[in-house]
Structure 1
Amino acid sequence: IWRLTGGKVHATDATNASRTLVYNIEKNEWDDELLAILGIPARMLPQVKDCADDYGITEKSLFGAEIR
């Protein structure tokens, strides 16, 4: 999403976030305890959105048009 939107949107969905093993699927948020243990700053992680949420539009230069 970051690259497709030219750095305008830093987001993912919960299914993708859960694959990192540092996303707490019960609380639906990044797991601060695991992030601390692994030394991962929470600020560098993408915002977790609903699968059907708005993820922005692509850069026009990628496909010749902006695509949602």
Structure 2
Amino acid sequence: MYDQAAETYALDPEIAEKLRKANPEVFRNIVGRMIEANGRGFWDAEEETLEKLRNLYELTEEELEGVTN
């Protein structure tokens, strides 16, 4: 279930961009829950998937805080 959700909502660049633009806080929460699910043992995610999710979380967090690179 988590693999499909990650692929659909977070790792599909087009969908992720739309969600992030529409409501970045909700997008960050979705990604954060996926990372948390792995940490709690509910999901055995591939390390590559986790790294992508962590990067998306950090990117969205920076956008919400107004951090620019």
Larger radius of gyration: 1
Whose strand proportion is higher, 1 or 2?
A: 1
TM exceeding 0.5: no
